[in-house]
């Protein structure tokens, strides 16, 4: 066991998407997390091999019936020895289960109570259903992503669910736990994906306020409006990502494309961008992706091959840094960020629901006979 959060104990009420991603980040950084899975998800006989959801890696699972009074009492007992609890239900669900902030803070006044939702705990949309695309739509992020004259393009579910959701919750949990250790007071962390997506747009709002960003998508510096910040197809159907913003990098890009003698002073003249993009398109189509990689190798032209999820783990840079790793036969992203003296680690593969009941509850202070009684009563499985 290692990581800067070693010794931090967190309870995770199982959910989907961004809340488990926050748990993954905290676990990779060393936190000891018990994942409370639904008892009806536990299989008997137990599933052989790890669970498929990589975002659940590193934790231990206890399958609890949260509609059983002994199940709720068990979670509250664990709360008494925890630094944090995270839940990803709609507003009011945890309260109806008897595991809301009031109950948990009464049991442990130092607890950091993390809540992951799309719309937040209050506001007109708080109780409405939604997904990543809805949250980034309302935050202003989705409207800015896409090419000129085309519909907005959803960037997978990276901006709302994981950047604006899971990472926001992980940051909030660490901040609240640190504050509790200083003040002795816990608090609720209201992590809403719409808030997080809006926060990720801060630089865009900076550029708008400076008058150098227009709401017309695909016409700006970073949204494929510029010819030097774009993706170009190669002769073999591959793609190269180009991001030569600064003048010195743009000069190297132009040299690599065979345009080194041209006047580069017009780089930021927006009226030239469409014509230059057409020229770049034709030039990149003249060589294969591998040939362009060779042209720009060792330069500061800010040009990189667009790799698939299959190719990325085998790129020499990613291999040298260990950006990807393999656990239980499954290739996956390695823990990030990296810590110099307390490196994080993937402690174990994703658990199957209920896999670690005896082990985890024992380490958190429950005697074996009490665990057996809870299983006998149906409170855990």
Alpha-carbon distance values, 102 to 99, 109, 117, 186, 275 (Å)? 8, 10, 18, 11, 62
Options 70, 131, 315, 358, the catalytic residue: 131
By three-state DSSP, how is residue 33 classified? strand
Catalytic-labelled residue, pool 32, 37, 65, 161: 161
For residues 101 and 89, the answer to whether their CB atoms sit within 8 Å is: no
Q: How far apart are CA 49 and CA 305, in angstroms?
A: 35
Active site residue 131: yes
Length of the chain: 381
The answer to whether the CB of 91 falls within 8 A of the CB of 127 is yes
Sign for the CA dihedral angle at 197, 200, 201, 202 comes to: positive
CA–CA distance, 167 with 3 (Å, rounded to integer): 17
Residues 24 and 5: their CA atoms lie apart, in Å, by 12
130's tokens: 């939604």
Catalytic residues: 131, 161
């Amino acid at each position: 066991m290692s990581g800067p959060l070693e010794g931090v104990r967190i309870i995770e009420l199982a959910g989907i998407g961004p809340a488990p991603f926050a748990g993954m980040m905290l676990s990779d950084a060393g936190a000891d997390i018990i994942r409370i899975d639904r008892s009806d998800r536990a299989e008997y006989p137990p599933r052989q091999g790890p669970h498929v959801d990589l975002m659940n890696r590193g934790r231990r699972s206890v399958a609890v019936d949260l509609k059983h009074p002994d199940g709720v009492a068990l979670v509250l007992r664990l709360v008494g020895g925890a630094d944090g609890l995270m839940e990803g239900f709609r507003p009011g669900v945890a309260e109806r289960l008897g595991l809301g902030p009031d109950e948990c803070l009464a049991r442990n006044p130092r607890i950091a109570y993390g809540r992951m939702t799309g719309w937040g705990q209050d506001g007109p949309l708080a109780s409405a259903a939604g997904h990543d695309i809805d949250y980034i739509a309302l935050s202003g992020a989705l409207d800015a992503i896409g090419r000129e004259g085309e519909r907005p393009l959803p960037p997978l579910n990276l901006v709302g669910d994981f950047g604006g959701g899971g990472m926001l919750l992980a940051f909030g949990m660490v901040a609240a736990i640190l504050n509790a250790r200083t003040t002795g007071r816990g608090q609720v962390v209201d992590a809403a994906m719409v808030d997080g997506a809006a926060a990720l747009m801060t630089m865009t709002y900076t550029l708008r306020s400076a008058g150098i960003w227009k709401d017309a998508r695909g016409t700006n510096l970073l949204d494929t409006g510029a010819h030097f910040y774009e993706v170009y197809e190669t002769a073999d159907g591959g793609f190269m990502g180009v991001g030569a913003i600064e003048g010195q990098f743009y000069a190297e890009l132009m040299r690599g494309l065979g345009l080194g003698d041209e006047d580069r002073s017009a780089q930021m003249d927006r009226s030239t961008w469409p014509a230059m993009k057409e020229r770049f398109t034709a030039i990149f189509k003249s060589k294969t992706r591998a040939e362009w990689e060779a042209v720009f190798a060792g330069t500061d032209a800010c040009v990189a091959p667009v790799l698939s999820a299959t190719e990325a783990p085998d790129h020499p840079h990613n291999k040298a840094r260990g950006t990807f790793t393999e656990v239980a036969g499954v290739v996956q992203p390695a823990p990030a960020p990296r810590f110099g003296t307390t490196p994080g680690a993937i402690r174990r593969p994703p658990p199957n629901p209920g896999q670690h009941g005896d082990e985890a509850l024992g380490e958190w202070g429950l005697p074996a006979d009490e665990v057996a009684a809870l299983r006998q009563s149906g409170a855990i499985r």
